[in-house]
Amino acid sequence: MYDAIQSSQEQQISPAIRSIVIVGGGAAGWITAGLLAAKHHSAEDGGIQVTLIESPDIKIIGVGEGTWPTMRSTLQKMGISETEFMRSCDATFKQGAKFAKWVDGSTEDFYYHPLMLPQGFQKMDLAPYWHNYADRISFSEAVCFQEHICEQGRAPKLITTSEYDSVANYAYHLNAGKFAEFLQKHCTTKLGVRHILDNVTDISSAENGDIAAVMTEYNGSVAGDLFIDCTGFASLLLGRHYNVPFLDKSDILFIDTALAVQVPYDSEEDAIASHTISTAQSAGWIWDIGLSSRRGIGHVYSSRHTSEDQAQQDLRAYIGGTDKDLSIRKIPIKSGHRQTFWKNNCVAVGLSAGFLEPLEASALVLIELSATMISDQLPARRDVMDIVAKRFNETTLYRWDRIIDFLKLHYILSKRTDHQFWNDNRDPETIPESLKELMNLWKYRAPGDMDFTSNNEVFPAASYQYVLYGMGFKSDFSLSQQNLTKQQQADDLFGRNMQAVQRAMASLPLHRDLINKVHKHGFQAI
Amino acid sequence: MTQLESLNKSHHRNVKIDLASAKSLCADQRMMPVVLSEFLKLSIQYPILLTKDEETGQFVAVALCGFEDSDNLFWQDGQWNAVYTPLNVRRHPFFVGANEHKKNEQDHDYIICINMTGPGVYKNNLQKDSLQENSLQENSGQALFDDGGQETSFLKEMQSVLGSLIDGEIQTQKFINALLELKLVTPVSLDITFTNQQKIRAEGLYSIDEDKLKSLDTAQIAQLHKSDYLGPIYTMIASLGQIYALIQKKNAQLKSPSKWFQKAEN
């Protein structure tokens, strides 16, 4: 009798989530594997098993070379030494982005989107007070010291600064191919991730529509409780198996092709930029990322507006020295994302979930955010998975929409008229309603935290301020003059920023020098 | 210009050293690099801490001698005023250089060099007339070689000091690496208010993490014991008390007007 009750109870208990199978091994696959395995103790008895199946035949895309500061905590969570990471992945420090020629295309036309909040941002908003000085100093120069450091080619920390600590906030530039290899080694040797090199040939479904197992060419069927689709643009599980529709966003963001190239430094002493340089072109823009060993440069453009030949010419003109033997790689970009990201027991992370042009390095950060959310909210049993999936879908959709708004912001503020590409970008038909509303509000006030109230914001109000005022947008503060009573405090903060500039200039080493020291000596863990 | 020469009997036969003034190069050093073998002797007067080398970011062991840049509270009245003088102070004007002429295995990796343009170094008979102000009184100062060209006991002592430093630096580095491996190193931040209400925050100093030390398992403790590291670890912890003595020194200095003004008043 007792036995009968127990066994009937057992039948009702939903299966536990003990085994996670990740399909695909680029940065998305290995970041997800690493975060899951570290948090859920995969290397120990009783930990959750994490298996990553990687095709030996498919090369990773590997052009995502810019990160956000979040990467520091992501690496730390996986127990990775910053020194080892930087040495293995040709990594350098990134302190934000410099946007050149985005406003009117002239040579003096540039602004910065740094990685540090404006001075005193938590206490008061300097934007309205800066407006009085706008003709003398740029917004980012007035409120933040990071642009000054970047312009001088200085690093965000010293060799005596501990791993992951900073003097100025920073992210990384990295070699994506080496990064995936580095993570693979760390995940398999330190974190207990099982690695299968094989092609997935088929999927076997359970009665409820879940994926029961994936079939491989040489390793038979690999069963799991949760499957993570990191198969890149192929979107093998979510796209091809579950037929989750792809929402095309090319009506908002026109970029659809990338031409990527690696450019060596002229000499080992060449300065390394400590920021991403994004230079607008007639129908797109060029990224320029300085790694320790080479530069990664690419032209992303709209093929509806310009030809590949023209885009190549623009790229070569940017690089200069036309005699250089450049092997240019063409990568088609499909701007958009899946309608949902988690279906049944399958969730997509990385390109399989979607992609947007790399203007604000959103690819890797979305991978980190998604993998962290899956790991933090990992359902204990199957019966609660649908609830987690619903939340994941809501949050992730919100994030994609916010990123799309923020990317579009860079285009609608441009005053360039040299090409139809820029005129088309300002066509109200192509601007999301949510962004139009914000732009209307900001006619009379600066972006503030009240505009971004979700727990799942990607870009803070400060980022909008940097782009908005960096691109010459004027908010009309005349009707709120009566509220601007803190001129003295504001001037103190502007003064404090100038002191911070002096201190930083006096103490921070040149970026190249620090990178050399990282390779020679390394940072201390404490 | 600093003129560094490898020590050589024929070149330096007539060199004499004024010991106190040779050490004056340390007068503005707030932290003095030290080696493991002298920890116990140091601990009677100096706080022994770790700090990061500014050039390399690597940890080095130091005796704390002051709180502000170029402040050395052990340098008083033109001399090193302490019961025990660290090897890195005693060695002046000598230092160790890498032997660039090393050809065979048997050749030494290091050679002894002398800073001929440093304070307290005199080339006696050659400079006596031309550089009177700088030259020593006849018969004063320590000679390196005697009349017969043999090394003096002073030079032999200096050689042993430098030898201890060479060995000591390797041993100390091993010790520090062991501490780092066991995550026993922790930052120490000092917030000090002196009697004149001057406030100072000394940063960039590290010591032993005592909680972490207590949490080591028996195998790890046994390993430390076997390597003879437990002694220096506890010496470092105990030496932290000397920070108070150092603060007292600083307060005393702030209270008494400097010798300069005393003379002026007389």
The model's pLDDT over A82-138, given as tens digits with 9 standing for 90+, comes to: 999 999 999 999 999 999 999 999 999 999 999 999 999 989 999 999 998 999 999
Q: What's the pLDDT at A9?
A: 53
Q: Indicate whether B16 pLDDT > 80.
A: yes
Residue of chain B minimizing CA distance to A508: B54
Tens of pLDDT, residues A356-386: 999 999 999 999 999 999 999 999 999 999 9
CB nearest to A521's CB, from B56, B180, B183: B56
Cis peptide before A69 (omega within 30 of 0): no
Contact A318, A299 (CB under 8 A): yes
Q: What's the pLDDT at A119?
A: 95
Q: Indicate whether A341 pLDDT > 90.
A: yes
B70 pLDDT band, cuts 50/70/90, is confident
Respond yes or no: is residue A436 known to be catalytic: no
Question: Is the Cβ pair B57, A526 closer than 8 Å?
Answer: no
Whether chain B has a CB inside 8 Å of the CB on A316: the answer is no
Whether chain B has a CB inside 8 Å of the CB on A271: the answer is no
What secondary structure, in 3-state letters, does B104-132 show? CCCCCCEEEEEECCCCCEEEHHHHCCCCH
Q: Residue B43 falls within a domain, yes or no?
A: yes
Amino acid making up residue B86: P
Percent of chain A, pLDDT > 90?
A: 90
Tens of pLDDT, residues A226-277: 999 999 999 999 999 999 999 999 999 999 999 999 999 988 889 999 999 9
Report how many Cβ contacts below 8 Å link chain A to chain B.
35
Q: Residue B266 falls within a domain, yes or no?
A: no
**Residue B105: domain span:** 4-259
Instruction: Quickly tell me which residue has 């949760």 as its tokens.
Output: A226
B183 pLDDT band, cuts 50/70/90, is very high
Whether chain A has a CB inside 8 Å of the CB on B78: the answer is no
Report d(CA A54, CA A47) in Å as an integer. Answer: 22
Q: What residues have CB less than 8 Å from A516, skipping those under 6 apart? A: none
Q: Residue B210 falls within a domain, yes or no?
A: yes
Whether chain B has a CB inside 8 Å of the CB on A160: the answer is yes
Q: Residue B264 falls within a domain, yes or no?
A: no
Q: Indicate whether B232 pLDDT > 80.
A: yes
Contact A297, A288 (CB under 8 A): yes
Residue of chain B minimizing CA distance to A526: B186
Q: Residue B163 falls within a domain, yes or no?
A: yes
CB nearest to A160's CB, from B57, B180, B185: B57
Alpha-carbon radius of gyration of chain A? 24
Tens of pLDDT, residues A447-494: 999 999 888 899 999 999 999 999 999 999 988 888 888 999 999 999
Q: Which of A132-136, A383-387, B109-113, B145-149 has the highest mean pLDDT?
A: A383-387
CB nearest to B58's CB, from A161, A521, A526: A521
Contact A290, A173 (CB under 8 A): yes
Report d(CA A27, CA A230) in Å as an integer. Answer: 9
Whether chain A has a CB inside 8 Å of the CB on B56: the answer is yes
Contact A442, A128 (CB under 8 A): no
Q: Residue B265 falls within a domain, yes or no?
A: no
Q: What's the pLDDT at B68?
A: 85
Amino acid making up residue B36: L
Residue of chain B minimizing CA distance to A523: B57
Question: Is the Cβ pair A160, B185 closer than 8 Å?
Answer: no
Whether chain B has a CB inside 8 Å of the CB on A520: the answer is yes
Residue A191 DSSP label? S
Total structural domains in chain B?
1
Question: Is the Cβ pair B57, A159 closer than 8 Å?
Answer: yes
Q: How far does Cα A522 stand from its chain's mean position?
A: 26
The structure's pTM equals: 0.89
Question: Is the Cβ pair A524, B180 closer than 8 Å?
Answer: yes
Q: B223 vs A326, which has greater pLDDT?
A: B223
Q: Which helix (H) or strand (E) holds A298?
A: strand A294-301
* Nearest to A131, CA basis, from A372, A455, A480: A480
The ipTM, to two decimals, is 0.81
Whether chain B has a CB inside 8 Å of the CB on A517: the answer is yes
Q: B147 vs A374, which has greater pLDDT?
A: A374
Of the candidates A39, A77, A94, A178, the residue annotated as catalytic is A94
Q: How far does Cα A253 stand from its chain's mean position?
A: 17
